[in-house]
Structure 1
Amino acid sequence: MPTAIQTDLAFILFLPAFCIVGALYCFYPRAPRGAPRRIADLAVLALAAVASIAAMRWGFRAATGVGGALWRQVLATLLAFGFFFATVGVAALVRARWFRRLRARL
């Protein structure tokens, strides 16, 4: 299998899971909605995807030593998941704080 496909395999295989988590992040909570929130949500998802791909590629290159090719895929997948969920998780906390400030102002 070509190296370019191997390095992106973890992201490709788990893209459906990332889409489900991304959709849940965008759809909940249901209010407030508006253009600024949609733009911010899409920016967070783009940042999470870029961070996930970068971490996955780094993990694939960094996995040396015992374990062979399988260990490279496992490490790449773990890092891809970790960075995606960490980015979305931090963004969810920041967004919750942002919503509290909006409610306090009203």
Structure 2
Amino acid sequence: MSPLVTLNLALILFLPWLLILGVLYWLYPRQPRHGARRAFDVLALAASLAAFVLTMHWGYRNADTSYGGMWPQILATSVAYGAFLAVLSAAFGLRRRWLARNLNRS
């Protein structure tokens, strides 16, 4: 297997699931839908993906191979998925508070 594919295997395998979570994040809640919210959502999704990729590469490079050849992939996937969910969950909470505050002003 190519070294580039090996390094990014977690992203390749998790991409469909990350897309599903990203679409759900984008669609919920349906209203209000304005430019500021779209910009926030794009930044949140980009930050989540960046956190996934960065922690995936960190996990792959820092895994102890004495536990087996698959351990770098296992660690990279686990850490990266946790980072993706952490950033997306934080963004979801921030967006919810922000939208609630804006609705109370109206």
* TM-score tier after normalising by the smaller chain length: over 0.9
Distance 1:30 1:65 in 2: 46
Equivalent pairs, count? 106
The within-5 A match list for 1:24-39 is 24-39=24-39
CA contact (8 A) 2:49 2:84 kept: yes
Extract unaligned runs of 5+ from structure 2.
Answer: none
The within-5 A match list for 1:32-51 is 32-51=32-51
Distance 1:33 1:25 in 2: 13
Give me the TM-score of the superposition, normalised by structure 2: 0.95
Tell me which of the two structures has the higher relative contact order, counting C-alpha pairs closer than 8 angstroms and 6 or more residues apart.
Answer: 1
Give me the TM-score of the superposition, normalised by structure 1: 0.95
Q: CA deviation at 1:65?
A: 4.0
- Structure 1 vs Structure 2 CA RMSD: 0.9
Distance 2:43 2:69 in 1: 33
Q: Among all aligned residue pairs of Structure 1 and Structure 2, give the percentage whose two residues are the same amino acid.
A: 42
Aligned to 2:66: 66
Q: CA deviation at 1:30?
A: 0.6
CA contact (8 A) 2:65 2:72 kept: no
Extract unaligned runs of 5+ from structure 1.
Answer: none
Aligned to 1:12: 12
